[in-house]
């Protein structure tokens, strides 16, 4: 990276910290810190939802998907849109009946504290693991870019005992990204998270759009060539009607599985639900969620078209350059877009697009820290203290929880350095099958009035066993939430019927 690119990146990270300092002035209570006094406009919440569900993995993997395949990823995005409609009708009305800080408080009201704490604890565990690994992957991207500087590599090699510049720069990258995210989230709370998300959305979409324009300029025939060459190779295929439990990105797994996945992530996961709670009304929350679906669809179309343009450029005009991302004779598709960024973007633009990669990551990480802190406070600490401490005490403790979860995620990222890619994939997959179990619990609370705590835990047990079996048999992850939620819900109903039958004897 050129010094100008490094300066842009440092300026971006500094700016996020300054935003946190600015919003810290308005933090006077737990309500301010976690739900921003219910005063955030719907359009800002829309931007925050989109930024939060977009990570560095999305930024580099979705173009990689289209590079290696086609547009069938959009079948999953159609499922995302359907899931948003379901959440708007089924769950959002219940979020505005009383004062909530977390979505799991609803489970406490319906089933009791044990179920609430189980769901909240599961969220904290999976969120810390998944986002710790996301932090590692983001640090990996930064370290790869920094290692392109011979001066930096030589300086680090001379300074670090043993001279392992690669490892040292990776660790430093994780600490810088994690540290900056912790600082602005610690200080500014949810207000800083949401407004920084809005800025980050503009940054990473702008960066992706600029990279797309430069990429298109590198293709001699322009958009006409992209359409002709991509069309001839089947790159614009949108629908795959094939059926199979082990197949991903088909019409059925994408639309049905994607709808259930979004119903879980956007309807029962504190990471997203906390944004609705920042709205002034149920209507604003609904508008924000539905509008985010439109933005997400446009965003994925952009990323996928970048992937097709990358395929046209590299296969038609620069096949030799693919050797840099080829391992054992196969192109690593997730590395194609980063490779283009490093080798073809001009000075300054590399810094901007790199900042865009970090924007995608930091928006998710900051949201994770704040929602984890809210869950620890509202579902564990405040009930444990009986709500008898001062508002200042709870605000200070909330910030300390933010710091603590940040340290946990950095620790997970450090552990990830020592693990194989296969283990990383397995840990990231944990969140996929736990989402179904949580959604099944919410279904029991929404569609039944008699199922109690004991029957619900019976459903949870069957849900966990079912998901372990599903993963063992190689079922596509896009079916996880559907299978997990149906298994948990059905087993809960059966357990309730058995308990009632035993009582009546």
pTM for this model (two decimals): 0.89
Last residue of a domain, one of 368, 390, 416: 416
Predicted confidence at residue 5, as pLDDT, reads 81
Q: Domain of 482?
A: 419-505
Predicted confidence at residue 117, as pLDDT, reads 95
Predicted confidence at residue 203, as pLDDT, reads 85
Ranges of residues in the chain with a pLDDT under 50 are 422-424
Is the same domain home to 451 and 365? no
Q: Give residue-wise pLDDT tens across range 331-367.
A: 878 788 888 888 888 888 888 887 877 777 788 888 8
Token reading at 382: 């405040």
Predicted confidence at residue 424, as pLDDT, reads 46
Last residue of a domain, one of 386, 416, 446: 416
Is the same domain home to 211 and 336? yes
Is the same domain home to 386 and 445? no
- CB 184, CB 24: distance < 8 Å: no
Is the same domain home to 470 and 396? no
Q: Name the maximum alpha-carbon separation found in the chain.
A: 81
Residue matched to tokens 């690994």:
133
- CB 144, CB 56: distance < 8 Å: no
Is the same domain home to 239 and 174? yes
Is the same domain home to 346 and 455? no
- Check residue 239 and report its DSSP letter: -
Is the same domain home to 402 and 427? no
Last residue of a domain, one of 416, 444, 475: 416
Predicted confidence at residue 54, as pLDDT, reads 81
Is the same domain home to 389 and 347? yes
Predicted confidence at residue 342, as pLDDT, reads 80
Total structural domains within the chain:
2
Is the same domain home to 98 and 211? yes
Predicted confidence at residue 423, as pLDDT, reads 46
- CB 122, CB 438: distance < 8 Å: yes
Is the same domain home to 383 and 425? no
**Helix intervals (H) in 377-452:** 382-385, 391-417, 421-447
Q: Give residue-wise pLDDT tens across range 286-336.
A: 999 999 999 999 999 999 999 999 999 999 998 888 887 776 678 878 788
DSSP E strands in 31-80: the ranges are: none
Is the same domain home to 234 and 368? yes
Q: Following DSSP, what letter does each residue of 448-495 receive, concatenated? A: -SS--HHHHHHHHHHHHHHHHHHHHTT--GGGHHHHHHHHHHHHHHHH
| Rg of the chain on CA atoms, in Å | 23
Q: Which helix (H) or strand (E) holds 331?
A: strand 330-331
Round to whole Å and give the CA distance between 374 and 274. Answer: 9
1 burial class (0-12, 13-18, 19+ CB within 10 angstroms)? buried
The CATH number for 65's domain is 1.20.1730.10
Is the same domain home to 289 and 178? yes
């Amino acid at each position: 990276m050129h010094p100008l690119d490094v300066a842009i990146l440092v300026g971006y990270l500094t700016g996020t910290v300054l935003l946190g300092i600015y919003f810290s002035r308005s933090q006077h209570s737990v309500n301010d810190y976690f739900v921003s006094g219910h005063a955030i406009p719907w359009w800002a919440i829309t931007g925050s939802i989109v930024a939060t569900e977009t990570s560095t993995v999305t930024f580099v993997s979705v173009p990689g998907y289209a590079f290696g395949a086609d547009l069938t990823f959009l079948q999953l995005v159609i499922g995302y849109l359907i899931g948003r409609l379901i959440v708007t009708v089924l769950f959002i009305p219940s979020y505005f009946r009383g004062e909530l800080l977390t979505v799991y408080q609803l489970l406490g009201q319906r089933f009791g504290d044990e179920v609430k704490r189980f769901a909240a604890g599961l969220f904290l565990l999976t969120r810390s693991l998944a986002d710790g690994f996301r932090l590692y992957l983001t640090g990996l991207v930064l370290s790869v870019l920094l290692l392109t500087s011979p001066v930096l590599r030589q300086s680090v090699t001379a300074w670090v005992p043993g001279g392992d510049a690669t490892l040292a720069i990776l660790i430093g990258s994780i600490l810088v990204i994690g540290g900056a995210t912790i600082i602005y989230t610690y200080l500014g709370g949810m207000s800083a998270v949401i407004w920084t998300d809005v800025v980050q959305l503009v940054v990473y979409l702008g960066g992706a759009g600029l990279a797309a324009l430069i990429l298109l300029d590198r293709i001699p025939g322009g958009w006409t060539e992209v359409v002709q060459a991509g069309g001839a190779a089947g790159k614009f295929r949108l629908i795959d009607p094939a059926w199979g439990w082990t197949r991903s990105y088909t019409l059925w797994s994408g639309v049905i599985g994607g709808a259930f996945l979004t119903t879980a992530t956007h309807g029962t996961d504190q990471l997203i639900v906390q944004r609705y709670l920042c709205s002034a009304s149920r209507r604003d929350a609904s508008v924000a969620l539905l509008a985010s679906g439109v933005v997400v669809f446009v965003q994925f179309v952009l990323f996928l078209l970048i992937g097709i343009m990358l395929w046209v450029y590299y296969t038609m005009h620069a096949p030799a350059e693919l050797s840099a991302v080829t391992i054992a004779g196969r192109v690593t598709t997730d590395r194609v877009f980063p490779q283009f960024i490093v080798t073809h973007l001009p000075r300054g633009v590399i810094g901007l697009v790199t900042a865009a990669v970090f924007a995608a990551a930091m928006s998710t990480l900051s949201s994770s820290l704040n929602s984890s802190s809210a869950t620890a406070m509202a579902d564990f600490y405040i009930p444990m203290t009986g709500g008898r401490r001062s508002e200042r005490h709870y605000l200070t403790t909330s910030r300390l929880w933010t710091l603590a979860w940040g340290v946990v995620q950095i620790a997970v990222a450090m552990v990830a350095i020592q693990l194989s890619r296969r283990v990383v994939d397995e840990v990231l997959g944990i969140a996929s099958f736990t989402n179904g179990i949580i959604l099944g619990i919410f279904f029991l609370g929404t569609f039944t009035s008699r199922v109690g705590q004991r029957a619900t835990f019976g459903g949870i047990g069957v849900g966990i066993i079912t998901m372990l079996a599903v993963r063992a048999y190689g079922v596509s992850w896009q079916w996880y939430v559907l299978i997990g939620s149906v298994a948990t819900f059905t087993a809960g109903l059966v357990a309730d019927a058995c308990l009632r039958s035993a009582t009546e004897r």
